[in-house]
Amino acid sequence: MSSLAPAYINAIRAILPKAQMIDDISRRRAYATDASFYQLIPQLVLKVSSIEQMQSILKTSQTHNVSVTFRAAGTSLSGQAVSDSVLLLLDEHWRGHEIINDGQQIKLQPGVIGAQANQYLAPYHRKIGPDPASINTCKIGGIAANNAPASRMRPRKSLLSATVRPVWWVTTTAVASDRVDCSVSISSAFSFRFT
Ligand SMILES: Cc1cc2nc3c(=O)[nH]c(=O)nc-3n(C[C@H](O)[C@H](O)[C@H](O)COP(=O)(O)OP(=O)(O)OC[C@H]3O[C@@H](n4cnc5c(N)ncnc54)[C@H](O)[C@@H]3O)c2cc1C
């Protein structure tokens, strides 16, 4: 049984329709693992479909002192995408992309799969710089938050920088490598700029 306060659950019910809230134990168990050996059963899993919902959920969670964890594709190897509190999923509503400056830049929402981003860039003979071996599955939100590095170095026309548009500031972590310069916070859109 969930140990979340009834006041918190009621506040979330006022934000999200029932279909976007997973509270039964069988489905919560399905989200208890990522690609690591850790197992944590979330007390609530929320499918968030808009920025407005996200802002309200984060504000409510902060008010009730409830921890939230984002989950993209759940391929993390160290338990980053599991929680015994509240998991936030960004699914089919977060797959937008925008090609900018004739392929010099691309703006991606966090639900876009990495390989799909590369398909969008293929006509411009470019790729995003991050190139984890899991690129056919993992998503931009997880790639940026994990600062997932390239498994091969790209000699040219690869990522120069990535910026993240925040929805709501909860934490800000700066990560950097020679290929990626990325400020990560809770995010709705990631912009990549190329050499
Ligand atoms: C077979 C295999 C090969 C792999 N190869 C590599 C590799 O070569 N290099 C490498 O770095 N990793 C690798 N990984 C690990 C993992 O796949 C990558 O780190 C990947 O980028 C994680 O993306 P994801 O979509 O699965 O994110 P998740 O695992 O779902 O989440 C990762 C982190 O991002 C956070 N997050 C997700 N969405 C958002 C958002 N919108 N805003 C803020 N934070 C968010 C989560 O809370 C979590 O902390 C591999 C994993 C597997 C299983």
Which of 4, 5, 3, 193 lies closest to 106, judged by CA? 193
Q: How far away, in angstroms, is 50 Cα from ligand 1 center?
A: 22
Angle between helix axes 6-13 and 51-63 (nearest 10 degrees) is 160
- Assign 156 to helix, strand or coil: coil
Please identify every stretch of the chain with a pLDDT value under 70, giving residue numbers as ranges.
Answer: 1, 149-195
Query: How buried is 91 (Cβ within 10 angstroms: 0-12 exposed, 13-18 middle, 19+ buried)?
Result: middle
Give the pLDDT score at 48: 94
Give the pLDDT score at 165: 56
Q: How far away, in angstroms, is 107 Cα from ligand 1 center?
A: 19
**Closest approach atom of ligand 1 to CA 143:** 21
- Domains plus CATH for the chain? 6-93 (3.30.43.10), 95-195 (3.30.465)
Ligand 1 pocket: which of 134, 152, 167 to mutate (most atoms <8 Å of CB)?
134
What confidence tens digit (pLDDT) does each residue in 137-181 have? Answer: 999 989 888 887 665 555 444 455 555 554 433 222 222 222 333
What confidence tens digit (pLDDT) does each residue in 106-117 have? Answer: 888 889 999 999
Q: By percentage, how much of the chain surpasses pLDDT 90?
A: 52
Could you tell me the pTM of the whole model?
A: 0.85
Give the pLDDT score at 191: 60
Cα distance between residue 178 and residue 9, in whole Å: 44
Give the pLDDT score at 190: 59
CB of 148 closer than 6 angstroms to any ligand 1 atom: yes
